[in-house]
Structure 1
């Protein structure tokens, strides 16, 4: 009577797994699988049979009838001498083959790389990726064991460590400047995905998507790059200062007579500062050194200053001043 009191399983299936569950063991709990039972494996699933911890038969999507013909490896491992006519016991694991999307990765500590342009750099990087189980047998042997369930969270730390380790090796040997990495993040992401794919394959996984969303440098180096970029945008500091001074003089000419004196004071200070900076920073323009008084013919700024003084004193009319100013500015632009 003990045989007939046993519970037999007629249908094995994993109907509604949670999205983050990668594998689950079918709950046998003393039950035995009936000969000729149906195994239902849904799309994006796989089922693996084991005998005493030994890998046996793997089934893909579909409905399978369990016989000696459909379970050749398991039949061999259990050494049935009755042609598989009695119920049997076996560990059955189901695997979720769906993509695990939007997984995050990031550098907990900066990665030191040798940049071909700036030398040694400490880089931080962040992004996301997606993966799925590609080899259930290998994945089970590496991670699952006899556990009832295995979730994404159980492997998250392992995957992040693998990503950062391979990324450090890739960046250390890549002859790519940091500015080129940041400017071509799409190509950089694909190159990193190619480098990481073998590591994921060793765990029975496929790296389906990999994105680098952010690359950053230490704050002090970013400030240095910002200053260098600003200097290139401004161009020659001497030319910029002279242009600003000339522009200020034009604004002063457009003011009513009452405000011209104060504008003239500011203009004189600005011109003096511009001449000092010009003498110190841009000798290539053959300007006279600071301390020498340039002649009106040699220095348009001095001429403009003199014209401003004449206009302020009432010697020149506004029309005369405006005409002369326009003539001089046309020569120096």
Structure 2
């Protein structure tokens, strides 16, 4: 190859970002050791942009896809770039950073510490965690480059993830604490919570030069202490419902359960408890004959007590026989 051909090849150098890595947001042009001053063309692919710096200052931003001829200088920015490239021998005085203009989707977020507030229904403190994803698009690349990237050769979405997470956690936590959704209401209101959380965090993204395209909540969880409290309440509610179905009050139901447990745990002594249970059951059943206490209702209540395990099979059969014998 002749010296003339070598020089021609130098001045035919093309700058482009032809191998963007997954989740890469910014990359400084350093391809193959080419000197920036020898470039003749700049190619911006769809979904890309480019920032030009000189002597530590941003001189311009390419924000439209296309082929730019750096030799002709047919636009004010190109003319400035062309003059700079021709005036300096060292590539280190000028630089180009490509950046991603396309949407960046499915960036993960999650609360790092539980959000604690008093449940408005149950009255005790609950600790809630949430997680999901969001999508963004850069709108102010020069401002973000100057404030955050600050000359780094590479900047990735995971860097953004940490940056945004550190800033959106507080407004999300404040919103949930003030909204005070009850334990049982969270799942039913998940879409509304996601919508409200997006509104609360949009300003954080805009301040850093990004548009928030969507914000999703994929799931939530409560801490173990909260789950145990709710389980205890559920057990009591189930007992209250069983008492209602059996036609006894809650206190009587608890007595029946205690007798049943004693019968299981105390062997022969439990037999006496079983007899006492039968006596109490008889007292319950021997109420004045009203539309609410006719034979069908009594048999139904008797069956419910048996199904609940409050009386054993022998007691059930004996009492059923008595009821049918008296009918």
TM-score tier by shorter-chain length is 0.5 to 0.7
Equivalent residue for 1:260? none
Structure 2: how far apart are the matches of 1:14 and 1:63?
A: 12
Contact in 2 for aligned 1:132/1:208 (Cα 8 Å): yes
Tell me if 1:110 matches 2:114.
yes
Equivalent residue for 2:163? 158
Count of matched residue pairs:
274
Secondary structure in 2 aligned to 1:43?
coil
Tell me if 1:38 matches 2:41.
yes
Shift of 1:120: 4.0
Tell me if 1:130 matches 2:139.
no
Structure 1: how far apart are the matches of 2:319 and 2:243?
A: 26
Contact in 2 for aligned 1:20/1:151 (Cα 8 Å): yes
Tell me if 1:219 matches 2:224.
yes
Secondary structure in 1 aligned to 2:37?
strand
Shift of 1:157: 2.0
Secondary structure in 2 aligned to 1:17?
coil
* Residues 274 and 321 of structure 1: CA distance in aligned 2, closer, same or farther (over 3 Å): closer
Structure 1: how far apart are the matches of 2:320 and 2:115?
A: 64
Shift of 1:300: 6.0
Query: Normalising by structure 2, what TM-score?
Result: 0.66
* Residues 270 and 52 of structure 1: CA distance in aligned 2, closer, same or farther (over 3 Å): farther
Contact in 2 for aligned 1:57/1:71 (Cα 8 Å): no
* Residues 9 and 231 of structure 1: CA distance in aligned 2, closer, same or farther (over 3 Å): farther
Structure 1: how far apart are the matches of 2:214 and 2:325?
A: 66
Tell me if 1:182 matches 2:187.
yes
Equivalent residue for 1:20? 23
Structure 2: how far apart are the matches of 1:310 and 1:208?
A: 68
Structure 1: how far apart are the matches of 2:210 and 2:99?
A: 12
Secondary structure in 1 aligned to 2:145?
helix
Tell me if 1:101 matches 2:110.
no
Equivalent residue for 1:55? 58
* Residues 115 and 241 of structure 1: CA distance in aligned 2, closer, same or farther (over 3 Å): closer
* Residues 238 and 166 of structure 1: CA distance in aligned 2, closer, same or farther (over 3 Å): closer
Superposed CA offset, 1:287-326 (max 9, x none) = 8xxxxx956647768x879xx76996xxx9xxx93893xx
Shift of 1:228: 3.5
Give runs of aligned pairs for residues 305-324 of structure 1, distance below 5 A.
321=324, 324=327
* Residues 184 and 151 of structure 1: CA distance in aligned 2, closer, same or farther (over 3 Å): same
Query: Normalising by structure 1, what TM-score?
Result: 0.65
Secondary structure in 2 aligned to 1:86?
helix
Secondary structure in 1 aligned to 2:219?
strand
Structure 2: how far apart are the matches of 1:186 and 1:157?
A: 24
**Structure 2 residues without counterparts, runs of 5 or longer:** 249-271, 303-316
Equivalent residue for 1:11? 14
Give runs of aligned pairs for residues 232-247 of structure 1, distance below 5 A.
232=237, 236-242=241-247
Secondary structure in 2 aligned to 1:16?
coil
Secondary structure in 1 aligned to 2:61?
strand
* Residues 236 and 6 of structure 1: CA distance in aligned 2, closer, same or farther (over 3 Å): closer
Equivalent residue for 1:86? 86
Secondary structure in 2 aligned to 1:33?
helix
Please say which structure displays the higher CA radius of gyration: 1
Q: What's the C-alpha RMSD, in Å, of the aligned pairs?
A: 4.2
Structure 1: how far apart are the matches of 2:103 and 2:282?
A: 67
Shift of 1:16: 1.9
